[in-house]
Amino acid sequence: MPEALIDAIVGMRMDEAVTLAKRMLDSGTDPLAIIADSSKAMEVIGRRFAEGEAFLPELIMGGEIMKSISEEVMPGGAGAVPEGSRGTIVIGTVHGDIHDIGKDIVALMLGIEGYAVHDLGIDVPVEDFVAAIKERDADIVGLSGLLTLAFDAMRSTVDGIAAAGLRDKVKIMVGGAPVDESVRAYTGADGWGNNVGHAVKLAAEWTDGDA
């Protein structure tokens, strides 16, 4: 049954996956075990995505299926993605920018990769990043933005984190379609990326020392 569930999720068959999950629940399977199986499916999708075999729609659809399953088997329960152990990441779109697709995908992938991800949303003020770093004891901060206007907001966020005395405590990545090395240098961040693969690789380098 777990194999069938994983297969249905990886195959993007939402109705079948939810029906299977319900059947597992009815036959006495622990809801947490069902969530764990669903997470395994997401890992498969995440791996295929990283290798260029799966695309954004699969990743998002996988997340949607997982959400439906968790609502079905653990109504009102905690989030479907278990808290990660590889490190804690605070992520958000910087103030003045409300774009979220790229940021959401990076947050989802980092969660699949085993990080505890705290997504502060869009148009996030500097002080919210600072507060979240303290509260969550973050290792990594992800600053997202799609507009070139976001560069200044990224820089002021990095400055704000430094002013709060937290700069040496966290690694900061800036990301978004127009972001490159020159933007990293301008903002004073530690790393940059313009796709989800970059973000995952950077996080791994910083937390595990992976190449």
Partner 1 sequence: MDHIVEEKLGGRLIADWVRGAHLHFANDEAREKYGARAQLIIDTIRLKDTGKIPVIPAATQKFAFDYGPVTFREAMTDFDKVFDAYVRQYEDTDFDAYVGPEFIFPAGMFEALRWNRVRLPGVHLPDDKSFQFVEAEYMKAEEYDEYLDDPSDWILRKYLPRLSPELEPLAQLPPLRNMVAFFQGLPDLVLAAAENPGVVDAMKALQASGQAVQEWFDYLGRIDQELGGRLALPHLLGPMAHAPFDIISNYYRGWRGTIVDMYTRPEKMIALMERLLPWQLQYGIDGAKALGQPIVTLYLYKGAEGFMSEEQYEELYWPTLKKLILGLVDEGLLVWIFTQGKYDSRLHHFKEIPAGTCLIHLESATDAFAAKEVLAGSQCIEGNVSSSLLATGSVDEVEAYCVKLAEVCGRGGGFMMDFSAFLDEAKRENVKKMIAVARAYRGDGEPGRI
User: What residue ranges bind partner 1 (CB under 8 A)?
Assistant: 12, 14-15, 55-57, 60-61, 64, 96-99, 101, 123, 147-149, 151-152, 177-180, 182-183, 185-186, 194-195
3-state helix, strand, coil in the chain (%, to 5): 55, 10, 35
Q: Which of 44, 150, 66 is nearest to 100 (CA)?
A: 150
Q: Say how far residue 138 (Cα) sits from the centre of its chain.
A: 14
Of residues 14 and 166, the one with the C-beta less far from partner 1:
14
Q: Tell me how far, at minimum, the Cβ of 45 lies from partner 1, in Å.
A: 13
Of residues 99 and 169, the one with the C-beta less far from partner 1:
99
Of residues 36 and 149, the one with the C-beta less far from partner 1:
149
Q: Tell me how far, at minimum, the Cβ of 189 lies from partner 1, in Å.
A: 13
Q: Tell me how far, at minimum, the Cβ of 52 lies from partner 1, in Å.
A: 10
β partners of residue 118: 90
Distance CA 174, CA 167 (A): 14
Q: Find tokens 């910087």 and name the residue.
A: 94
